[in-house]
Structure 1
Amino acid sequence: MLYEKAPAKINLTLDVLHKRPDGFHEVEMIMTTVDLADRIWLRPTDDGQITIKASERFVPNDRKNLAYQAAELLQLKFGISSGVEITLEKSIPVAAGLAGGSSDAAATLRGLNRLWNLKLGVNELATLGARIGSDVSFCVHGGTALATGRGEIIESLPAPPNCWVILAKPAISVSTGDIYGKLDLASIAHTDTATMVEALRTGDYEKMCKSVGNVLEPVTMELHPQVVMLKEQMKKFGADAVLMSGSGPTVFGLVKHESRVPRIYNGLKGFCPEVYAVRMVGGRAIFER
């Protein structure tokens, strides 16, 4: 049996530039991994079947599961006759804007690359991952990166300055397709990606906090006032910067001083069922062992 870790990601920035001819959106976003992770166990089988076992009952155990799609893609592409039992121990909230499913798929690609001795490099795995979902390429790499195209073009960046991250997910789920579908490209205020890149390259925490931005946030907040309330409460309790991750609904706060963490965490627990206090881990690509 083989083990892989599948960390969550947050978006420090998320910008949408235009609609592409292929129907996807051209994006420009900076993502980084945090210390909240699913655990993936891969057990080889002789029957050629892909089996999903998940600790969370809302996680599909068929082809709708991105980890299943990752295994099936490798089987078909490389003529693998072996099967695999994939056990997902979920810690990342489902449908939360934290790339839990994408990270599970990326971990499955990395793990099966070893289990089936495919000898694929990180860029080859990331290219395959792009066929499964837009965030999978980043999740194959891990670390911190600028993602462009529809999310599959990855440029590694330095890790963010060391800080705490408070994550709060309200008891709702958000459809990424619905949020993108309601986005008015003519009226969005674009994020300052270049300044965020500069903040990461210089290790400037204050500049990083001032540069966070997500063009999907107003769309999700209009549909789900719980996200607005969480942002307001997180700011009130003392987070240095507050932003929604991905298409939501999870809101995160950056906190430099550990002494503030218990107040923010405990304060949010009164408003939100799922709250996590984690550290940034975006300094090293997962693939680099």
Structure 2
Amino acid sequence: MSLNFDIKKGVYLYLGKSTPLMGGLGGGSSDAAAFLYAINLIFSLGLSREDLVDVSINFGSDIAYFFYGGMCLVEGRGEKVFKLDEYLSEEIILVIPNKGISTSFAYSLFDKSPRASNYTKQFFDAKKEGFIKLGNVFEDLVLSSDAELKKIKEILNEECEWNLMSGSGSVFYAKTNRTKHIEKKLLGMGKVITSCLKPLELKLIEF
């Protein structure tokens, strides 16, 4: 990046992580997006949102989304981001297993598997009918390779209205009013964080 934009100086970076590592929540990608945005400001590069998206592809496939936020349809390698007007607004919990799943491991399982259903199309078809249908091609693959995560999934199936693994895992998000029951059943396999799934807007980022 320094060569492409003739940056002569370096920067000191302190990163305080609060998003679980190897959780499938996009923590690393959002960190990268924030860093690129900061570099754009610090060195007055004058890059537009689209320029930052183009640059981000050199560093990772999921970074571009974080220059938009909210509910988006993402295609290609992650560089094609389409902002959506509709969104989910559901009170949810996050279940953070004690063990994480590396992205490279999850994709190695994906590369060996038959191509799965088109969950994106199924989601929008269901939305038109007034109900939620969620899917994640990684979930079955990861759960089939890990007995503890499979057990957590079984607990959530019993106690939640719906639940799904986030990204390539290992974190789950779920809608439920039985949080205490889930915490008891986890038996040291993970922890529960109450959260809220709402449209996100990057208020500090202006283009």
Q: Return 5+ residue gaps in structure 1 as ranges.
A: 1-72
Q: Which residue number in structure 1 is paired with residue 151 of structure 2?
A: 229
Shift of 1:174: 1.8
Q: Which residue number in structure 1 is paired with residue 85 of structure 2?
A: 158
Q: Distance in 1 between matches of 2:137 and 2:40?
A: 36
* CA 1:195–1:283: 2 relative to 1, 3 Å: farther
Q: Which residue number in structure 1 is paired with residue 49 of structure 2?
A: 122
- Choose which of 64, 73, 76 in structure 2 pairs with 1:149: 76
Q: Return 5+ residue gaps in structure 2 as ranges.
A: none
1:148-187 matches, within 5 Å, as: 148-183=75-110, 187=114
Normalization by structure 1: what TM-score? Answer: 0.63
Percent identity between the aligned chains? 29
Once the two structures are superposed, residues 38-63 of structure 1 have per-residue CA deviations (whole angstroms, 9 ceiling, x without a partner) of xxxxxxxxxxxxxxxxxxxxxxxxxx
Secondary structure of 1:223's counterpart equals coil
Shift of 1:262: 4.0
Secondary structure of 1:183's counterpart equals helix
1:21-36 matches, within 5 Å, as: none
Larger relative contact order (Cα-Cα within 8 Å, sequence gap ≥ 6) = 2
Secondary structure of 2:15's counterpart equals strand
- The answer to whether 1:249 aligns with 2:170 is yes
Normalization by structure 2: what TM-score? Answer: 0.85
* CA 1:203–1:125: 2 relative to 1, 3 Å: farther
Equivalenced residue count is 206
Alignment-mate amino acid for residue 139 of structure 2: E
- The answer to whether 1:276 aligns with 2:193 is yes
Contact kept? 2:62, 2:78, Cα under 8 Å? yes
Once the two structures are superposed, residues 170-225 of structure 1 have per-residue CA deviations (whole angstroms, 9 ceiling, x without a partner) of 2223222222222367634413312423566x694xx22xx111111111111112
Secondary structure of 2:20's counterpart equals coil
Q: Which has the higher strand share?
A: 1
* CA 1:139–1:261: 2 relative to 1, 3 Å: farther
Alignment-mate amino acid for residue 22 of structure 2: A
* CA 1:114–1:268: 2 relative to 1, 3 Å: farther
